[in-house]
Structure 1
Amino acid sequence: MHMADALVSPAVAGAAAAVSVTLLAVSARKIKRGDSENIVPLMGVMGAFVFAAQMINFTIPGTGSSGHIVGGILLGAILGPWAAFLTLASVIVVQCLIFADGGLMALGCNLLNMGVCSTLIAYPLVYRPIAGASTKSWRIAAAAITASVVGLELGALLVTAETELSGVTALPTGQFLTLMSSIHLLIGLGEGLATAAVLYFVKQYQPSLLTDYRNGTGGKTGSYRKAALIFLSIAAVLGVAFTWIASSYPDGLEWSIANIAGENGLGASASAVAHTIGHVQEATSFLPDYGSTWSGIIGCIIVVALVWIVCTLATRRARSVKSN
């Protein structure tokens, strides 16, 4: 669902960026109020896991399309909403700047469509009420599937709205929304099942992960070393194996556009501002389109580093303000 710059106008991109930056600032403040020494390492590990998992596109049978997990519901269930948003935002930023996955001008839109819709809307308003305080597997599975579908459907709606408000393409709104919502319903079901499977594993081997940070302001002191090593190991395997197991079909957004505008897409519709910002992205993305066998490993390392840097700076600033 990573939007390209060709879909959005500077005005829409700027408004989305302003909202996203504001929510990121709130997230950083929420983290520094909590037990950052415990949650930050967990954020880095889970960010690396989600980054690697997003690289594995799964085929949607009978459609000629593919999808990948967003990971917001999984992160929310383990980290709480605000830490989850900050972690997922780190993943999306790394994808954009290092791998040219999603436009740089459209970065704010992508943070809203994937990050906010899943971690700050679908998780607290759908997952948490369904899962409740229960650790029953069926409730966790029902919550994961329902929230994943809702999060992706909201994201599909926002993509359509942002494209329509931008007015830089000739995509018919009704047809675009129909294609986006239908394909992301299927992708959401796939993500929901995958999320439920991971949460079932967590429930069996480290159930405290599903309760300690649910309020988003820290949790009980505990050792998550074993769980962290497992998630890092899986991330490493996925990071290396993605070139062999990922689907070659276009993702849901690309598929929807191709069904309307043809295989050539909308490159010619990008604004002059988008082209200028695109040159900046070309300079930062030294591994465009994940063009290396080691892209997954490199991306995981950068995500962990970015989460640590952002949270460390936020924590230090909080201590400085408090001491003054």
Structure 2
Amino acid sequence: MSDALVSPPVALAAGAVSLVLLGTAVRKLRRGQRVPGSAGSGTVDDVPAGPDEHLVPLMGVMGAFVFAAQMINFAIPGTGSSGHLVGGILLAAMLGPWAALLTLTSVLVIQCLLFADGGFMALGCNILNMAVLSTLVAYPLIFRPLMRPGATPGRIAAASLLASVAALELGAVAVTLETEASGITALPLGRFLGFMLPIHLFIGIGEGLATAAVINVVRRYKPELLVAVRQQTKPVRRRPGRALAVIAAAALLLGASFTWLASSDPDGLEWSVGKTAGTAELEAGPDGAHRMAAALQERTALMPDYNTTLAGVIGSGAILAVVFGAACLFRAGQKP
């Protein structure tokens, strides 16, 4: 979301909720990762886990991978729109929901500050809509209950599709409700929602297929990288350095090639705004809060709109450094 869709009160409310959940995630990582139980309760915290020595480097490389993957907009045939991956379900399957929340939030923060992708004032809304709804809602309530030990590739694909579609549709509803509550744009709720839901259904299907493909490859060749496997088996003494290097290399490759692979069509939100309002370029509010947010973002955005072919590589490297550094700090405070 851009700042033009969000009023200061809505931004503050979403930011407060996001901060509370991020603080909870930090506390849980310090105490040790917890994952949903296989008994079927579907909650985020029902099975405590021991120390996870692979979590710190995995957060870094997966954050870089998701950042790079988000830059590759794929065209949605027959619509004139495009979509990109969110990555919340994939991150939660690899890291667990709370570590995934922190990792995806780091991606969104770097995108906002370094590349002016998403509004500075709307950052709390974007964290809530993209990170929270995918890692703390769609993953524990849909993906995990559908998974079983020894799940077939088809079952993994079904769980990934359903969870990804749910996450994208919930995010689309949240965007329209936040826009409606802000009341600063000419975007009627019903008409706006009528464009947002169908286009994000297609994006969710694309995300689900990509998520299933990655999880199935990881499960076949390096299953200990999946959080459920790590928590159900004895610790693996051998560090997965080669696998992490492969993921990091894939992130850099995606980041280096985004300018050639990404569709130039507007993404689902921009397309929906354009169809509803007649233009995708909405002006931010004239109040002081919007002006201050725009000025702050202008100072931090060294590569606005990814205006260099190296943006993907630089961004992936920044995510790797930020997530790895933050995860090390969090782990330093973990209880044994």
Range of TM-score over shorter length: over 0.9
Residues 1:158 and 2:158 aligned together: no
What does residue 30 of structure 2 align with? Answer: 32
Q: 1:270 to 1:301 in 2, by over 3 A?
A: farther
Shift of 1:39: 0.5
Letter in 1 for 2:270: E
Q: Identity of counterpart residues, as a percentage?
A: 56
Q: Deviations over 1:112-154 (max 9, x none)?
A: 0000011110011000011233332111110001100000000
Q: Per the alignment, in what secondary structure is the counterpart of residue 286 of structure 1?
A: coil
In 2, are the aligned partners of 1:39 and 1:79 still within 8 Å (CA)? yes
Q: Which has the higher helix share?
A: 1
Alignment of 1:118-137 (within 5 A): 118-137=134-153
1:140 counterpart = 2:156: yes
- 5+ residue gaps, structure 1, are none
Q: Structure 1 residue aligned with 2:266, among 236, 250, 256?
A: 250
What corresponds to 2:316 in structure 1? 300
Query: Partners of 1:87 and 1:116 in 2: how far apart?
Result: 11
Q: Which amino acid aligns with 2:264?
A: S
Report the Cα distance in structure 2 between the residues aligned to 1:295 and 1:143, rounded to whole angstroms: 33
- Residue among 279, 284, 290 paired with 2:306: 290
| Partner SS state of residue 162, structure 1 | helix
Q: 1:268 and 1:105 mapped to 2: Cα distance? A: 10
Deviating beyond 3 angstroms after TM superposition, the runs of 4 or more aligned structure 1 residues are 211-216, 218-222, 268-272, 315-319
TM-score normalised by structure 2 residue count: 0.90
Q: CA deviation at 1:276?
A: 1.5
CA distance in 2, matches of 1:152, 1:107: 17
1:206 to 198, 222, 225: 222
Structure 1 residues 277 and 215, CA gap change in structure 2 (3 angstroms): farther
Partner of 2:110: 94
Q: Which residue of 1 aligns with 2:293?
A: 277
More off after superposition, 133-142 vs 73-82: 133-142
Equivalent position SS for 1:66: strand
Please tell me whether residue 110 in structure 1 is matched to residue 126 in structure 2.
yes
Q: 1:125 to 1:299 in 2, by over 3 A?
A: same
1:315 Cα deviation (Å)?
A: 3.2
Change (3 A) 1:295 1:6: same
CA-CA distance at 1:271 after TM superposition:
3.9
- Write the letter of the residue equivalent to 2:57: P
* Partner Cα separation in structure 2 for residue 189 and residue 76 of structure 1: 18
Name which of 149, 161, 165 aligns with 2:165. Answer: 149
Superposition deviation, residue 263 in structure 1: 2.8
Deviation at 1:317, TM superposition (A): 4.4
Q: CA deviation at 1:284?
A: 0.3
8 A contact 1:9–1:167 mirrored in 2: yes
Find 2:81's aligned residue among 45, 56, 65: 65
| 1:224 counterpart = 2:240 | yes
1:304-319 superposed matches below 5 A: 304-317=320-333
The correspondence for 2:99, drawn from 83, 93, 100, is 83
Offset from partner CA, 1:130-185 (integer Å, 9 cap, x none)? 12333321111100011000000000000001001111111110010111111000
Quick one: which amino acid aligns to residue 121 of structure 1?
V
Q: Is the 8 A contact 2:271 2:280 kept in 1?
A: no
Alignment partner of 2:204 out of 181, 188, 206: 188
Counterpart in the other structure of 2:4: 6
Gaps of 5+ in 2: 33-50
- 2:213 corresponds in structure 1 to 197
- Structure 1 residue 220, shift from structure 2 partner: 5.4
Distance in 2 between the 1:309 and 1:103 partners? 25
* Distance in 2 (alpha carbons) for counterparts of 1:285 and 1:248: 21
Aligned to 1:173: 189
* Native 8 Å contact 1:80 1:213 kept in 2: no
User: Superposition RMSD on alpha carbons, in Å?
Assistant: 1.9
> 1:45 matched to which residue of 2?
61
